[in-house]
Structure 1
């Protein structure tokens, strides 16, 4: 990762990225429209969802398909590369579940110190 020949900006996502993993999870069951993604991701703004989808598309994790016809719409779907992230996401979710109490305690302690 720190090799000068290796571009470090190819990291698939930042550890602190709030939405990437959730968008990937939302697309796990198949293609979805933008408006369909906003339902489970109720805290995301349209602007941030657009930015996240564009970044995921740029990095090859999501494909965007325009449907023309009487009712035009766009659907987003995981690519095979995007699907390959589901296993690591499962592992990260299992780790978080196992350490949930510790994570909450650390977050609360950090908030108390900030006050």
Structure 2
């Protein structure tokens, strides 16, 4: 499996990642790369700030697109985030990933995510 690097700043065209629409753009690219290569590395080089809304639409959606909890775990294990500006970004990513993978919270998180990304 060859991971391909996505540079978030190139996808977003800016140095902050705060809007859910930007998260959807990144999620689409992550999904495309994942389907093509089986793994994806997302570089946040040059990104100074991220929000939970962005991460829910990017990482949450990427994981929740899987049909089953097993497939979701597979997706989550084949995505990596690098070049994070601070430890807060890493904490946010871990929190969103945990929620997306939690089988009890999965359906609630999925419906919230769908509401956020369809608005």
Normalization by structure 2: what TM-score? 0.29
Which structure's CA Rg is the greater one?
A: 1
Normalization by structure 1: what TM-score? 0.29
Structure richer in helix, relative to its length: 2
Higher relative contact order (CA 8 A, sep 6+): 2
